[in-house]
Amino acid sequence: MKTLLALRQAKQEKLETLNNLISGAQTEKRSLSDSEISQQEALTSEVRNLNKQIEAAELLADEERSLIGGSKTITENGKPTNTEVRNFVMSGESRSLSAAVDASGGYTVIPALDKEIYKLLRDQSVFRQNATVKTISTQTFEKLVSVGGTTATWAAESDDRNETSTSQLEKVTWSLNALYAYPMTTEELLDWSDFDVSGWLTSEVADESGQKEEAAFWNGDGVKKPTGLLTYTTTAENDAVRAFGTIQEIETASTAIASDDLITLAHTLKKGYRGSAKFFMNDATQEKIRKLKTSDNDYLWRAGLMEGQANTLLGKVVETAEQIPDDYIVYGDLAKAYYITDHTSGVRMRKDNITKPGFVKMYTSRYVGGGLVDSNAIKFMKVAAA
């Protein structure tokens, strides 16, 4: 039996031919000729026959999915098989998936693929691996942050107890914005080859949107995207006097990064944030740092002894982030400093095989936001100007 997609396409072609036949006669303001009537009857009969085949194919697919123990193509973990995903991409049919159709938007959400995409995003993104990621159900994220200020004092048994100062609260807020990808493949590849549709879809969505969000989390201007960590206001003032929401930025003692500068940077961060602190810099800056030595001629940099093991500097992990400028270092606990917010709707997918005939594109979108929560948890260092 032909595939459901092929049957539907054949029906669409017959209907278009039938429509052109009738419209042509109406435009010319005449009745159908005898040959046109015969053609109309033949097309009508073919459409009815195709309807029966489509109905049978849909019934067969439904019955296979309802078999005790499930169809042979259904996996034990509930993840859609490649066959099911292929059918979804080719036909837009979601009934074979562990998915739901949003009645208001017509979007199809595939939970298993959704999880795969976010896992791949996290694996590829330095920022997602280290920041705090929260899932929210609203369009706007709000959080109250204590900026300290509570005081205490000593008193003898008979002394009066006067009111002491109370911690002050500040509110951080930002909105979620849509981030979309539009991966495309050919109908032939979907029809005839042993094509890993699930792998293609997840990797394309993760790659295309992941690069955009990584750049935004570091350098986004806040317009239709998150405000990037490196775009917040900086000052040389320390934590005690610096305004809420600004980040302390220190300069090197000379026009090049020295060992003492790194030690100063590490101690600028309050002790409570040092436990999970990391260094973030691009590869060009790392090259310079790797050449720094102590007075005993030992390198400060410690390369991971095994493949996959992290490199360290002053005992802290070093992460590579190419979005950071040359001769610039970010140091601190990114999980406490910056929150990423994803919407509970996850990744939404919608098929497009109309705008470019012969090709199938999957319009996929999700809502993402992010912003600075605790400016004391992160520090910047730049090289002093010559």
- Taking 80 as the threshold, does the pLDDT of residue 97 lie above it? no
Tens digits of residue pLDDT in 231-248:
999 999 999 899 999 999
Which pLDDT score, from 0 to 100, does residue 33 have? 87
For residue 385, give both structure tokens: 């100007």
- For position 199, what pLDDT does the model report? 82
The pLDDT tens digits of the residues spanning 182-227 come to 888 888 887 776 778 878 888 888 888 999 999 999 999 999 999 9
Sign of CA dihedral 25, 26, 29, 31: positive
Q: Are 349 and 218 in contact (CB under 8 A)?
A: no
Distance CA 271, CA 366 (A): 37
CA separation for the pair 229, 335 (Å, rounded): 12
Higher-confidence residue of 1 and 193: namely 193
Choice among 94-98, 209-213, 271-275 with the minimum mean pLDDT: 94-98
> What is the number of other CB atoms lying within 10 angstroms of the CB of residue 179?
21
Q: Which pLDDT value is given to residue 77?
A: 52
CA-closest candidate to residue 102, choices 364, 285, 350: 350
Q: Considering the entire predicted model, what is its pTM?
A: 0.70
Query: Quick check: 159 pLDDT over 70?
Result: yes
Neighbours of 289 (CB within 10 A): 19
Render pLDDT for 14-26 as a digit per residue (tens, 0 to 9): 888 888 888 888 8
Residue 16 backbone dihedrals phi, psi, to 5 degrees: -65, -40
Q: What is the reported pLDDT for 323?
A: 96
